[in-house]
Structure formats: C-alpha cells, structure tokens
Structure 1
Amino acid sequence: MAYLEINDLHTHFTKRSGNPFSSKVETIRAVDGVSLKVEKGEILGLVGESGCGKSTLSRTVMQLIRPTSGSITLDGSKLSDLRSSEIRRRRLDFQMIFQDPYASLNPRMTVFGALAEAVKQRHPDSKGNALATRVSELMETVGLDPRLQRKYPHEFSGGQRQRIAIARALAPEPKLVIADEPVSALDVSIQSQILNLLKQLRADLDLTMIFISHDLGVVRYLADRIVVMYAGKLVEEGEAEALFRNPQNDYTQKLLSAIPSMASSAH
C-alpha cells in the first residue's frame, strides 16, 4: 500500500442561488472524484490554475475540510473514519506549509514561542534546555540563525518568514508535508532558496511531500511525479520529466506554454 492513498474523493459545497427570490441551491464540485497514490519519500507535484480545486484537495487531505465522499488512507489508517479528537492527534503526522507565512504566523508570538508550541504538540513534557535546544536545531535546519529566535515575524523578510513557517511545520516531526503554493509570494531568487531547502529536507528527514503550485516550472524542479488538476478532476499524471517531454492533455500543454524561466534559475 502507498503511504497516502486517495480513492474517489469528492468535496462538494452548496451555496444559494444569486437570485434573492429563488430558493435554488447550487452545488460546487471543488474536488470531483480524485484518486491518487503518493509513495513514501516521494515529492508529488499538484498543478493547476487558481480555482481548479487543488487547495480544497489539500485541505481535505489535512481533514481541515471533511470530504463529501471517498476515502483518504495515510500509512494504513483511513482518516475519513476517525473521530475529530483522533484526527487532531494524527495531524502531528501530516503538516501544512501555507502560501502566506505572515498570515499563518501569530504576530504576537516570537519565533521561539511559535516553534516551542509546535514542538510541544509532539512532546508535551519538553521544557527548559531540551526545548531550547530543539528550537535552535529547527532554526538551523531551515537555514536561520538561532540567535534570532526572540524576534517577531514582522522583523523578518518574506523568505525568512517562510523558513520559520517550514520550521514550524517540521517541529511535530511529521512524515507528510503538504506545501500549498509556498513560494508564489516570494521573488525568484528567494524561491530558488526555498525550493532547494525543501529538496534537502526531503533527503535529510525522509519526508513525503505534496507540493502544490500553479507554476509547472517550479514543480518540475522539485517533484518526482506530477498530477495536473482541472475543474476538480485530475486530467493528467506522470513522471515529471516524461510529462514535460510529452504532455497528453490539452490543458497540460496550455500550462506548459505559460512557464516562466523559474526552473533554470533554481539550478
């Protein structure tokens, strides 16, 4: 069995019609029958334009949104069958990195406070020197000087804040990391640094990763395999280089034609 298996997953939302005199309810099929597997230690690239459903899919995998139907199995455990309390405990094994690190970090909490809080999710009795040492190790792991740990998020650059967000995601010692557009808000030179960091972390920590982006060039540099999503469905899947050399789907070809020069600058 693959480390993560998604089988016929549907995540639908309902909203009332825009007509105030109508009681009609519209169904939005954000994720519409997605099945895929992610192997242990693999980086899977999930690509598609804004609104295609990729962020909803990631949040459904994280169980931040419960699926309408279908199943998600992580390391042999069917997440969709677990109670909310059990999901919170299991979520230590799968963490998320968001697009905007400033929005996802508490502005009133120092870096030490944010990372210590995350460490204590896995090790609630951690304190004193052991906790301080672990926070310093996390900062060094993501390329930050531990002497900066008493600073607040607003005192860092965008790239540094994303490194802090990555350190916080790593703090509970997850096996699966879902990175949702983690470099799209950064300039190209900083994007390269973060991509190289993620590559190194995968190698050092044996992480399994889903990397979500609208930019195929970025995903090509990082991912072993790519799946392309359009209108809630997966329309193409393949090894990264094979998909680039011979895309089968018209939508994939359109995405490829729009690639900027990011891939070359990441090397």
Structure 2
Amino acid sequence: MAYLKIKDLKKHFVKKTGGMLSSTKETVRAVDGVDLEIQKGEILGLVGESGCGKSTLSRTLMQLVQPTSGSIILNGENLSSLAHSEVRKRRLDFQMVFQDPYASLNPRMTVFSTIAEAVRQRHPKMKGAELEKKVVDLMSTVGLDASQMKRYPHEFSGGQRQRIAIARALAPEPKLVIADEPVSALDVSIQSQILNLMKDLQRDLGLTMIFISHDLGVVHYIADRIAVMYRGKIVETGTAEEVFHAPKDEYTRHLLSSIPKLVTSA
C-alpha cells in the first residue's frame, strides 16, 4: 500500500467576474482530479509552471484548505474524512517548508524558541536540558552550530534561514514533509547545499517528501520520481530518469526545452 495516496483530488474556487450589475460566477479548477501515490522514504518531485496548481495542491494536502472532493490517505487513514479537531492533531504528521524562509520565520523569536516551540507541539511536557538537547540535535542535523541558537532570523543568511525552517519542520517528527519551492529564492551556490541536505535527510531519516518546483532540472537532481502538473491535472509521472530523458507528454517536453543550456565557444 502506498504511504500517501491521493485519489481524484479536486479543489475548485468560485470567483465573481464583471461589474456590480452584471456579475457572473466563474469556477477556477486549481486542482482538478489529481491521482498520485507516494511510497515511504521517497522524494516525489512535483513540477509545473506558475499557476498550474502546485501550491494549491500542497495546501490542500496540508489541510490548510478543504478539498472540493476526493481523498487524501496517509498511511492507510483517510484524512479527508476526519473532523476539523482531529485534522489539527494529525497536522503534526505533515509539515511544510516554504519558499521564503525569512517570511516564514517569526523575526521576534530566536532560533531556539522557533525550534523549541515546534518540538513541544509533539512533546508538550519536554523542557529544560532535555528540550535544549533536542534543539541542539536538530540544529546539528541541518548543519547549524548550537552557538547560534540565541540569534534571530535577520542575523542569518538566506541559506541558513532555510536550514532553520527545515529544522522547525522536522521538530514535530512528521511522517511527510512538503517543500514548496524551497530553493527558488536562494543563490545558485546555496541551492545545491540545501538540495544536498534534503537528500541526506531522506537517506538518514527515511524522510518522505513532496518537493515542489517550477524547475525540472532541480527536481531531476533531488527526486526519485517526478509528477508533471498542468492546469490542475497530472499529465505525466515516472522515475526522474524516465521523465527527464524520455518524456511522453508535450508539456513535459516544453518544460525540458526551457531549461537553460550552457553555451561554450570553440
């Protein structure tokens, strides 16, 4: 059985168009019948251009927005059928890493407070030396020095902030991590460091992840399998090598052709 099974998932929004006297309703099919299966310990790369529905899908999986229809089954349990109070409890099992680490971190909280707060979501009675050791271990896991724990987000570089955000995501001991464009706001040299960190976490922690990006080259590097999304639908899935080297869908070929190529002169 797949660790995460998404079956015919839809998220439609209704918006009004036109003026006050002649307004009409239009349905935006942001996610329109998505079927996906993800195995435990796998990184699935979800790729597509801006506006294709990737972020809406991620927020629907996180239960931040309610699906219009369909099911989200995590480890055999249908999350879509749970009561709101139960969803809040289960949200610890799936955490998110956002595109802009500075915007996602509270500027008034130190690194210690940020990570400790997330740890206590899973272990509310943990405190003192035990809690500090847990924070130190998490910082070490993502490549940060414990001497930095009393600093604030503005005292770190973009790459270091994303490491803090990753540590915070790992703190509640989630079963699934959704990374939504986690390297697109970083310099190219820093991107590779964060990508390598995520691959190390997959190897060392058995982490299951959905890695979302508009860049097929980045997804090819980090993902075991790739799902290509276009206009709310999954148009192609396969191993990273299959999708990158033998694409079946015209849209996938379009994404591949848009990857910058190194031009050298003789």
Question: Structure 2: which 5+ runs fail to align?
Answer: none
Cα deviation digits, residues 67-115 of structure 1 (max 9, x gap):
0000000011100111111111111111000000111111111110000
1:94 alignment counterpart: 94
Q: How many residues are aligned here?
A: 262
1:151 alignment counterpart: 151
2:55 alignment counterpart: 55
**Cα distance in 2 between the residues matched to 1:141 and 1:55:** 27
**Cα distance in 2 between the residues matched to 1:76 and 1:22:** 47
**Cα distance in 1 between the residues matched to 2:22 and 2:235:** 35
**Cα distance in 2 between the residues matched to 1:260 and 1:186:** 17
2:184 alignment counterpart: 184
2:119 alignment counterpart: 119
Cα deviation digits, residues 132-190 of structure 1 (max 9, x gap):
00001111000001110100001100000000000000000111100000000001110
What amino acid is the match of 1:95? Q
Question: Structure 1: which 5+ runs fail to align?
Answer: 263-267
- 1:1-267 aligned within 5 A: 1-260=1-260
Indicate the SS of the match to 2:33. strand
Superposition RMSD in Å: 1.0
Indicate the SS of the match to 1:260. coil
**Cα distance in 2 between the residues matched to 1:39 and 1:21:** 51
Q: CA deviation at 1:19?
A: 2.7
**Cα distance in 2 between the residues matched to 1:260 and 1:54:** 22
**Cα distance in 1 between the residues matched to 2:27 and 2:216:** 29
Q: CA deviation at 1:258?
A: 1.2
**Cα distance in 2 between the residues matched to 1:133 and 1:18:** 58
TM-score of the superposed pair, with normalisation by structure 2:
0.97
Cα deviation digits, residues 194-232 of structure 1 (max 9, x gap):
000000001111111000000000000000000000000
**Cα distance in 1 between the residues matched to 2:210 and 2:248:** 22
CA contact (8 A) 1:217 1:261 kept: no
What amino acid is the match of 1:7? K
CA contact (8 A) 1:95 1:170 kept: yes
**Cα distance in 2 between the residues matched to 1:42 and 1:260:** 27
